[in-house]
Chain A
């Protein structure tokens, strides 16, 4: 596959992910409650979302991030690592702004950004012994900030059940 084809594919995948995210998960959020849908979202990182990026198996995160930036959809992509914690920042996302932009219609903190899910899926693939825990994203007018933690399966289980428990807390 040529570099150009790959860039096209990434652009297409990014669009699909945004459609899935904003079309399905946000709609689901209006039916169910935030923590219920958040649970569904982070669960999918370790299963479904990874499949979208299977074709990039040979690439490391730096290359993927660089490829994403080359699509012209994103500017200022950055993945900062501190031990097992990562902060993924998108300074400017084409899907966020303008007439068709969606960030103005969603809350300041919301379900994880679909690109963060994709990065998380890649992290998951590159760390087979570990599990990925993605936090809700901070939505800025033009971009997003998302924390992604690499964790042990036991710790992941604990964190995931904590989210499930919060979703059941209804006073």
Chain B
């Protein structure tokens, strides 16, 4: 298998994408998700080994979809071919043969080569229009930019699908009177760093996560309803194993950017995403922390 290219994808990742998209096209997204989860849970095929286990995948497709399996395989093969720059022609071959052909004759696009990563003047006009008001309809963007509606829609879809553009609801921390902190942590070893990343990625207070190649190999921007809550959150990071707190800088809300995509929880539970129960936490019980926005006992504005 070709190795991962800098900033690009592996052949396996492209095949996984083709499989997911093929199942979504032929069935629907939930069915695709269910089937891929089934491959991982029941047949023990990890996402990083789908290419080498394509024969097993074919067997599973046939078990579940019978005569329809061949149609799914054809669509998956066609998608894979397009991803590696090949023209697909159905020759009644099996999925394994198509994969083999694509691996030998196709080329894996690097990130820099992909058309979606190159922003031209039209892309930038559309982005600039949305930057001023992300709620405006395509028709208005079309009027402002002088670009036709279908083109605006296509460009937007392409930019969003390729993760270059995201249109999100962000909250203004200044208006909410939130405080912020910049903290640096040193995770000792890759295992500790992975665990830390996992914990931080689900924490509603983490606004930004950087991985500098320094001793302090994790820099985090946090927000909190007040300084005590923020300090209490930071205290919990001290208990993460094989991780040292290197420095903390506390601040009022940022001068800019003012708004951030905070995780909000319209339906609150008993346990925070990190697994902690605020109702049992001393900081919360003593009124030093308003609690996690994900839990029912939370006392803050979110």
Contact = CB atoms under 8 A, between A and B. Distances in A.
Contact of A108 (B25, B34, B35, B37): B25
Interface string A133-150: 001111000000111010
Given A108-B26, A162-B63, A170 B34 contact: yes
Contacts of B38: 165-166, 169
Interface in A157-171: 159, 162-163, 165-167, 169-171
Contacts of A107: 25-28
Interface residues of B, number: 24
A35 B33 CA distance: 11
Interface in B26-67: 26-28, 30-31, 33-38, 40-42, 63-67
A69 interface: no
A169 B41 contact: yes
B72 interface: yes
Interface residues of A, number: 25
B71 interface: yes
A137 B40 CA distance: 25
B146 interface: no
A33 interface: yes
A162 B75 CA distance: 24
Chain B facing A: main interface SS: helix
15 contacts: A33-B30, A34-B28, A87-B67, A107-B27, A108-B75, A109-B65, A109-B71, A136-B65, A137-B68, A162-B42, A166-B34, A166-B38, A169-B35, A170-B37, A171-B36
Chain A facing B: main interface SS: mixed
B37 A110 contact: no
A136 B41 CA distance: 22
Interface of A: 33-35, 87, 107-110, 135-138, 145-147, 149, 159, 162-163, 165-167, 169-171
Contacts of B31: 33-35
A34 B40 CA distance: 18
Q: Looking at B25, B40, B41, which has the most chain A CB atoms within 10 Å of its CB?
A: B41
Query: Closest 7 interchain pairs by CB?
Result: A135-B66, A147-B66, A169-B37, A34-B31, A171-B37, A147-B67, A33-B30
B42 A109 contact: no
Given A87-B67, A138-B71, A162-B63, 20 more contacts: A33-B31, A35-B31, A107-B26, A108-B25, A109-B71, A109-B72, A110-B27, A135-B64, A135-B68, A136-B64, A136-B68, A145-B68, A147-B68, A163-B64, A166-B42, A167-B34, A169-B35, A169-B41, A170-B37, A171-B36
Nearest to B30: A33
Contacts of A146: 66-67
A109 B68 contact: yes
A35 B42 CA distance: 15
